[in-house]
Structure 1
Amino acid sequence: MFNPDQIDLNALSIFEAVVDAGSFTAAANKLDVAKAKISINISRLEQQLSCTLFTRTTRKIVLTEAGRLLHEQCQPLLYGLREALTQAGSEQVSLGELTGVLRLSATVNQATQSLAQAVAQFAVLHPRLRIDLRTGDRISDLVADGIDLSFRMGWLRDSSQRAIKLGEFKQVMVAAPAYLKKHGKPTQLQDLRTHEWVALSLLPTPLTWKLTNIDGHVETIHMKSRIQVDAPNALLSLILHGAGVSVMDERTVQGVIDSGALVRLFPEWSLPVGGIYAVLPPGRLVPVKVRAFIDFYRDFI
Structure 2
Amino acid sequence: MATDPDINDLKAFVAVAEAGGFTAAADRLGVAKSRVSQKVSRLEASLGVSLFSRTTRRINTTPEGEFVYGRCGPLLSELTEVLEEVGQAKTGLRGPLRLSVPMELAVQSLAPLVRRFMIVYPGVQLELRSSDHIIDPVQEGIDLSFRLGWLKESRQKAVKLRDFEQVVVASPDYLARAGMPQTPVDLANHDWIALSLLPAPLTWSFVHQDGREERVQVRGQCKTDATTLLRALLREGMGISVLHELYAAPDLSAGALVRLLPEWHLPRVGLYAVYPPGRFVSPRARALVEFCRSELAGF
Q: Which residue of 2 aligns with 1:232?
A: 227
Q: Does 1:129 align with 2:124?
A: yes
**What displacement does 1:137 show?**
1.4
**What displacement does 1:169 show?**
0.8
Q: Does 1:287 align with 2:282?
A: yes
1:154–1:203 contact (8 Å) kept in structure 2: no
Note the alpha carbon deviations across 1:217-262, whole angstroms, 9 max, x for none.
1111122213221221111001111221100012322332243322
Counterparts in 2 of 1:44-63, with a 5 A limit?
A: 48=49, 53-56=52-55, 60=56, 62-63=58-59
For 2:70 and 2:36, the matched residues in 1 are separated by 27
For 1:138 and 1:23, the matched residues in 2 are separated by 19
**AA at the equivalent of 2:178:** H
Q: Which one of 190, 204, 208 corresponds to residue 209 of structure 1?
A: 204
**What displacement does 1:182 show?**
2.7
Task: Give me the TM-score of the superposition, normalised by structure 2.
Answer: 0.80
Q: Does 1:265 align with 2:266?
A: no
Q: Which residue of 1 aligns with 2:32?
A: 30
For 2:234 and 2:292, the matched residues in 1 are separated by 30
Note the alpha carbon deviations across 1:163-217, whole angstroms, 9 max, x for none.
1111111111011222223333222321211222111122232222111111111
Task: Give me the TM-score of the superposition, normalised by structure 1.
Answer: 0.80
Percent of aligned positions with the same letter in both sequences? 38
RMSD value over aligned CA atoms? Answer: 3.4
Q: Does 1:156 align with 2:151?
A: yes
Q: Which residue of 1 aligns with 2:87?
A: 89
**What displacement does 1:159 show?**
4.5
Q: Which residue of 2 aligns with 1:3?
A: none
**What displacement does 1:74 show?**
7.9
Q: Which runs of 5 or more structure 2 residues have no equivalent in the other structure?
A: none
For 1:23 and 1:174, the matched residues in 2 are separated by 42
2:21–2:59 contact (8 Å) kept in structure 1: no
For 2:187 and 2:35, the matched residues in 1 are separated by 63
Counterparts in 2 of 1:37-116, with a 5 A limit?
A: 38-39=40-41, 41-42=43-44, 48=49, 53-56=52-55, 60=56, 62-64=58-60, 66=62, 70=66, 77=74, 81-91=79-89, 93-94=90-91, 97-116=92-111
Paired residues, number = 287
Which is worse superposed, 75-84 or 186-195? 75-84
